[in-house]
Structure 1
């Protein structure tokens, strides 16, 4: 499927500052960029960088003069996904795990899986199938954590979310990741543009490593799982922030959009009895 995606960021720069901007869609075997455009107004020195293992594309922007700064990105992305039968999505033994996957087993800043070990095993440890275990985690979060805009901030962690039972997509994803890791299932943060999200925004969900594949899960249940355009993955939101500023800067606005560019889109959701997992790789 093809999607038209876009994002805008607006700032007031108060002193010479450097920005790391992470709103470019990724180039992957399953995601092709037919066209894209990135503009900065007023013009500043920019440099495009890529993470070591292709988890994200960054723009490093050097704003030497105080004033307003407007950043605009747009792209036409073509994505393909694959459905993998649940019986092929077993847990991967640590001895056979690729070294690039192992870091996604560890606790991280926002995903304190070590603090949630007992909770995870008490609620989900009895489920034999790894895929069904992650589905159960996803459904528990959806059913027990209230989606509440403005209820959390940049310091909120998975442990806070399971305590307060409220959050936004970022918090839902962090909790899903932490619970998976507590059950020895590698999991990573996924941020992207999301089709049919209302209101439009950048969206966070997570991927679990099952049967040698990264399988997408969205505890918010707000979007079709095959309606995403990937921007970045990481251990948690600290690795996949839309923008990071070094200097005195006031954030003014952030917008995102994702629209279908093709007809015939058939949305996919995980429901009771789902027999397949969906992968973007």
Structure 2
């Protein structure tokens, strides 16, 4: 399958934003017919516009497509019998400004929009009750954006970014105890701290040119002052350059590739500039 969307006459950066260029090449082998769910396409939405994109899936059979969690992004579902070769290219214009995080107010529970409530709940990798006492000890009575900024700074300063330090089973509590992890682990800790303080928080899969080494990235998104705001406790990504792929309660809901069986990674290259 090949899918291509072009921006027509619209020039790059027509709205004065930053244009992020994405190039993904992945190859996976399987021994038996295997179901897969892929979510790697940048989402069209507030603060980001798809100027052009193309997705090629060689070896994918019986394809179906649908929207991601919260109606954000696009999921592809298919069967692979031998080898999947995936190539995705996109140009995305980002017009999203960075918020003045510390100035953003929190929202009382009774005033929260109904669709934000699920992002206060425990999930596979995030159990807010594990962090209630920690929040009080580390951040006192801070609330709203001041709390989120302090929590993000604490994570950045006290948890070491260490590729290979975690596994697909590592929870936010595990990362907090071990003091090391990768982007998804950093995001899970911030999400857990936020939920424990009554701030809706969700996991965001994304691309950003500041990520080293280049790869798929993960950040948090918190509900403050009437809207969702991106926060990256690793410090590598910025709201002005993040291209969102999708959102979820945690990494389990927005994996770039979910495989229902055994697979062998042959190649994976992600380039973002």
Write the distance in 1 (CA, Å) between the matches of 2:137 and 2:164. Answer: 30
Q: What corresponds to 1:219 in structure 2? A: 233
For the residues of structure 1 that align with 2:62 and 2:50, how far apart are their CA atoms? 24
Change in Cα spacing, 1:140 to 1:40, as seen in structure 2 (3 Å) is same
Displaced runs of 4 or more, over 6 A: none
Q: TM-score, with normalisation over the residues of structure 1?
A: 0.86
Runs of 5+ consecutive residues of structure 1 not aligned to the other structure: 260-281
Find out whether 1:122 has 2:137 as its counterpart.
yes
Deviation at 1:42, TM superposition (A): 3.4
SS of 2:129's equivalent? Answer: coil
> Deviation of residue 83 (structure 1)?
4.4
Aligned residues: 256
Partner in structure 2 of residue 176 of structure 1? 190
Matched, 1:240 2:254: yes
How is 1:37-56 mapped onto 2 (pairs within 5 angstroms)? 37-42=54-59, 44-51=61-68, 53-56=70-73
Q: State whether residues 193 and 257 of structure 1, in contact with CA within 8 Å, keep that contact through their aligned partners in structure 2.
A: no
SS of alignment partner, residue 100 of structure 1: helix
Gaps of 5+ in 2: 1-17
Scaled by the length of structure 2, the TM-score of the pair is 0.89
More displaced stretch, 32-41 vs 45-54 = 45-54
CA gap 1:198/1:86 in 2 versus in 1, 3 angstroms: closer
RMSD: 1.6
CA spacing shift, 1:253–1:209, aligned 2, 3 Å: same
User: Residue 29 of structure 2 aligns with which residue?
Assistant: 12
Tell me the residue number matched to 2:107.
Answer: 92
* 8 Å Cα contact 1:55/1:234 also seen in 2: no
Cα distance between partner residues in 1 of 2:94 and 2:265: 31
Aligned to 1:244, the other structure's residue is in SS state strand
The residue correspondences of 1:254-273 to structure 2 (distance < 5 A) are 254-259=268-273
Contact 1:8–1:73 (Cα < 8 Å) also in 2 = yes
Q: For the Cα contact (< 8 Å) 1:125–1:183, is it kept in 2?
A: no
Match of 1:134 among 148, 167, 186: 148
Q: Following TM superposition, by how much is the alpha carbon of 1:43 offset from its aligned partner in structure 2, in angstroms?
A: 5.2
Verify: 1:197 aligned to 2:211, yes or no: yes
Alpha-carbon distance between aligned partners in 2 of 1:223 and 1:29, rounded to the nearest angstrom: 18
Distance across 1 between alignment mates of 2:149 and 2:190: 10
Q: Aligned-pair distance for 1:148?
A: 0.8
What is the aligned partner in structure 2 of residue 266 from structure 1?
Answer: none
What is residue 26 of structure 1 aligned with on the other side? Answer: 43
